[in-house]
Amino acid sequence: MDYEIYIEQSVAVLVDGNNIERSIHGLFDDEAMMLNFDTFIPKILENRGLNRLIYFREGSYISKKLADRLHDLFHGNVQPCYKSADIPLTIKATQLAPKVDTIIILSGDADYTDLVHHLKSLGVRVEIAAIEKTTNSVLKNIVDYFHPIQREDCFSLS
């Protein structure tokens, strides 16, 4: 007898843009290499519902093309940060925790270790998506699931 399982799960995706960009550029030694959000976001959602997608980016220049694309495809938005994305991303994650089942953080930064512990203590499933080689091992070991970003998840602007 075959049973079909329907999983209704609300997911927030929070992106530390600078961390992901640096990791991708460093690993592939290509400053023009970018994550292909068009294919990667559906891949990590695995048929779960997207509640929110926010791309945090340090600095005043944020690609309008990226912002428009995230909005058009995922109703996502780009949030500029004064300095690092760590604090604004952490604040937003704690605000979203009561509203979602899962939070996926795109970053391998060890600075998110305390956030992961806190979110999990609230009953939120926490996943990380990052370049495996540059992901902090402690962070990788405490999350509920790790999504490695592979070369095929990226494209080159050049």
Tell me the average confidence (pLDDT) per consecutive run of 10 residues in the chain, 158 residues long: 78 95 85 90 94 90 86 92 91 97 97 97 98 94 97 87
Residues 6 or more apart in contact with residue 67 via CB below 8 angstroms: 55, 77, 78
Its CATH class, for the domain covering 10-156, is alpha beta
pLDDT of residue 134: 92
Q: Could you tell me what percentage of the chain is helix, strand and coil, using 3-state DSSP and rounding each to the nearest 5?
A: 45, 25, 30
pLDDT of residue 3: 76
Dihedral sign (CA 73, 11, 110, 77): positive
- The answer to whether the predicted template modeling score (pTM) of the entire model surpasses 0.85 is yes
pLDDT of residue 84: 87
The three-class DSSP label of residue 27 is helix
What is the helix (H) or strand (E) element at residue 103, kind and residue range?
A: strand 102-106
pLDDT of residue 73: 92
CB 116 within 8 A of CB 126: yes
Residues 6 or more apart in contact with residue 138 via CB below 8 angstroms: 110, 113
d(CA 65, CA 97): 29
What is the helix (H) or strand (E) element at residue 93, kind and residue range?
A: helix 86-96
pLDDT of residue 1: 65
pLDDT of residue 102: 98
d(CA 100, CA 52): 9
